[in-house]
Each structure stands twice: as structure tokens, then as C-alpha cells.
Amino acid sequence: MRNLIKKVAGDTAIYGLPSILSKSVGILVLPIVTRFLSPSDYGIIELLNIFGVVITSFIIMGLNASRTIIFYENDSGFTKSSLIKTYVLFLSTWGFFITLVAIIICPYIFSYGFNKNISIDLIIISFLGFFFAAIRNGIQDFFRLLFWRFKFVFLSGLQLALTYSLLLFMVSVLHWGLKGYFLGILAGTVITLPIGIYWMIPMLRDRFSFSLLKKMVIIGVPVMPTDLALSCITFSERFFILRFLSLDDLGVYSVGARLASIVLVLLWGFRLAWAPLALSLEKGAESFRFYSFMDGAIKVAASYVAILLTALSPILITIFADHRYFSGYKVVGFIAYGNFFASIYWISGLGILTNKKTTIYTLCIIISALSSVFIIYHLTPFLGVVGAAAGGCLAHIIGNILVIYFGEKCEPIGFSIVRTLLLVVWSFSAIFAEISIIESSLPLWVDISFILTINIISLICLPLLGIPMDELSKLIRIVLVYFRINFIKNNK
């Protein structure tokens, strides 16, 4: 199992690096961008981005999941080259049609559904950016599946550098505002897309296969409601903030969400590394033990990061954003925790997905989406933006609990619902306690003492709650042996 853990760690570092850089640069430019864009502007960015998520879901149609499954099937009857060409060509033609339809109907949705008049040129620029990004990400995902690590990292880094350079120039120098923001994103994507296509040419020589497309659709389309349901959770958070609060509150929420994304981005790299490895392992006691350990370990890490991030968020938001966005610190921990659970459905639902029970998987996510509407609707008027963030997080937790339950019915891997719930209860209690302490009128040294105590106790207790004792004891012994060896070396 140690070799498997090393491989996951290595691939996580490689595939997580572009996301780490992207989120890091996104945080670093906040002091500049928030100076030129108001909370209302960020509210519009958030509104367009959530529609972008929905548009992307319709473009992909769940075929990203079926593509990955078929890619690792030895008896699929199709070549990898044929799979790649079929996927990319379909994504391009179908995606263009969906984007065109969205550009036509969305102005009416914004006007009558949200009472917001957004200029048509801003809609066109942003939606074209989502379309080209879907194609580029599809090609880049094949770099990952083919283990083309250098090309994956290089293309991501180039796109990142171009996007933020152009975005900053257009917003801060040319003063193009929101139009400059989305033009920078579109330009960075369009410039790097031909490079990805060029590198993929050797894998595009086989014919387009309608039978392969049909197979991808049969497996993937039942997952499409999953993507839409996940989008529904994010949409509900933003919709009820606009319904009960204001566009400024949505902008503040958006900046908090950006701060939340940076710390858990390494876990996103883990997710990218997880799917190829998990689907390539043979079923058995050793692989199941590995799955169970990684599930517990990553949940423990995410729980503590969410608690720690809540404690640090007032400092971070003071450093990286204009003072108008300070109240966004309250949502950082919950959004970070929710993002984590949103990104591990592939792990929690491993038993379902390896047995191709995608309909069950979809139903679980739909239930979590429906629960999000109910929870966020009731929490937002009571707790404000904190209620929206906590409600979205709870919805993703409900979805994970459901896929774990049914996944264990399909394939008894060893994932524990009880351990997951214990971690969630502890983390929510700690985050709410930290926010209450920060909002109190207690002396600063008292606030720091209480928050430090919460973090120290959490650091000790979370591993005991989330990792099986036998695996935890082995891990502790490995760590102690490691430090003992290094201590002896340093004293020779």
C-alpha cells in the first residue's frame, strides 16, 4: 500500500500544481482587481460564472465520466485514438450549439428571473470563454489520462500566465472593467487551445465513431443530471443571496469563495490523480484497504484545513482584498469544506461507479441538490451569507453520505458513514465557534487564545475520529520511525 500512496502523492503534486498556481495567482491579484471592481461587479461575475457552470454541464453531457471509464476498459473494442477524436469533435460541435442557444435565451433569464440587465456583449464574451475552456479542459484531461505530465503542466501554466496578464492589463490599465475581466479569460483560453490541439494530433488519426459516441452517451448521460444537480447547489447559494440579500452581498460572498479555493486546491490535484489510479487497480483486499485509508485521511486533512482557514480568514481577506469585502471572511471555511465534499464524489461513490451503477449515483446527487434548496432557503434569511455557505456545504455532505451508503451496497470497500459524520459535526461546531469568537467584543488576546485552543484540540482529535485505529497506529509508527532515522543521521 505504501507504493500506492507514494504514487498518489506524486501524481497529486503534478496534477495539483497548475491548480495551485492558478488559485494562488487568483488570490495575489485580488488586491488589484478588487480596487477596480466593486462588490456589485463581483456579484455580476459570480452570476455569469454560475450560468457558465450550467452551460458547461450541457456541453459535456456527462461524457467526461464515461470517457474516463471507457478509456481504462481493456475490452472496450475501441482504440484510445478513436475515443479522443470522437470526444473532442462532439464536444466542439455540440458545445457551439449550446453556447449559441445560451447567448440567445440568457438575457431574458437575467432580466425577468433576476431583475438584472446585463449587457449582451458581456454575455457573449463570457459564454464564449466557457465554450473554449470546455474544449481546452477536455483535451488537457486526456493529457492526464495518458500520463503526459509535462504537457499537462505546461499548457496549464501558459494559459494561467496569459489569462492573468491580459486580465490585469485590461482591468487596471485600460480600465475596461467587467468586459476586460472576461476578455482576458477568453483571450488566454483561445491562445492556448491550438497548442493543445497540436499536441493531440497524433491521437486524432482514427475515425470518428458513432457507435463509440453512443456508448459514451449511454454511460455518461445518466451522469449529466448529476452535473446539473451539483450546479443546482451552487446556483441555490447565489440565487437565495440575491433573493434575500443583495448583489453586493453576492460579490462579498464571491471574494470569500476565491479565498476558500486556494487551500483545498491540492485536494483537487488528488482528485485528478485518484481516478486513473483507482480505476486501474484490481479489486481485492489490498486495494480496498488502500481506498478506505485514503478516504479517511483526506477527510481528516480537509476538516482541519477548513477549521484553520476560518481562523486565518480575517487576516487573509484584509491582506488580499479591499476593505469593502471584509465580511466575506465568514464564509471562507464553510465554502472550503463544501468544495472539498463536492470534489470527492468520485471517491465516496467508488463502489457505485466501478459497478457502472451511474443511475444510483445520479439519484443521490439529485437528492442532495433538492435538499440544498430547502436548507439554503431557510438558513440564508437567518444567517445571511453564512447560511448560504453552510447550506451548500451540508447539501454536498448529504450527497456524499448517500453515495457512500449505496456504494457499500454495491461494493463493500470499507468507507465509513459514522466516521464521516463525526468529522462533519466536529468541523461545523469548530467553524461556528470561531466565527462567534471573531464577531464577539472580547479582547484580542482572548480571541486568539480561544481560537488557538480550538485548532490544537482539533489537530489531535480529528485523526482519532476519521481514520481506523489500526491504520492510524501504523501511520504513527511510520512517522516516528522516519523522525528517529533523521534524528540519528543528524547526530552522527
Q: How far is Cα 329 from Cα 441, in angstroms, rounded to an integer?
A: 17
Contact of 44 with 181, CB cutoff 8 Å = no
Say if 492 falls within a structural domain. no
| Averaged pLDDT, 169-198 | 93
Average pLDDT for 304-316: 93
User: CA 210, CA 346: separation in Å to the nearest integer?
Assistant: 27
For residues 211 and 290, give the distance between their C-alpha atoms in angstroms, rounded to a whole number. 36
pLDDT at 490: 57
Rg value, the chain, Cα = 23
User: Would you state the pLDDT for residue 182?
Assistant: 95
pLDDT given at position 437? 94
Residue 488 belongs to a domain: no
Kindly state the average pLDDT of the residues 252-257.
92
Q: Across residues 322-350, what is the average pLDDT?
A: 88
- Average pLDDT in the 397-408 region? 90
For residue 3, the model assigns a pLDDT of 59
Average pLDDT of span 237-257: 91
Among the ranges given (8-17, 393-402, 432-441), the one the predictor scored with the smallest mean pLDDT: 8-17
Say whether pLDDT at 4 is over 70: no
Residue-averaged pLDDT of the chain: 84
Domain annotation covers residue 278: yes
Confidence tier at 207 by pLDDT (50, 70, 90) = confident
Does residue 449 contact residue 277 with C-beta atoms inside 8 Å? no
288 lies in some domain: yes
Report pLDDT for 322.
Answer: 83
User: Is 151 a member of any domain?
Assistant: yes
Q: Is residue 489 part of a domain?
A: no
Comparing 471 with 225, the larger pLDDT belongs to 225
| The pLDDT value given to residue 61 | 86
Summarize the confidence of residues 285-291 as an average pLDDT: 67
- The C-alpha cell that represents 226 in the structure block: 448529476
Domain count across the chain: 1
Task: Give the alpha-carbon dihedral of 445, 261, 30, 158, to 10 degrees.
Answer: 140
The answer for 384, left when phi > 0, alpha when psi is -120 to 50, beta otherwise, is: left
Q: Are 180 and 56 in contact (CB under 8 A)?
A: no
Cα atoms in the Cβ-side hemisphere of radius 13 Å centred on 6: 3
Give the separation between CA 163 and CA 434, rounded to whole angstroms.
Answer: 36
Cα separations (Å) of 106 from 119, 135, 227, 246, 458? 11, 21, 19, 20, 45
pLDDT exceeding 90 applies to what percent of the chain? Answer: 40
Question: pLDDT value at position 35?
Answer: 86
Supply the pLDDT for residue 478: 54
Residue 487 included in any domain:
no
Report if residue 483 sits inside a domain.
no
C-alpha cell at 214: 453512443
What distance lies between CA 442 and its chain's CA centroid? 36
226/366 Cα distance (integer angstroms): 7
Q: Which domain holds residue 396?
A: 2-475
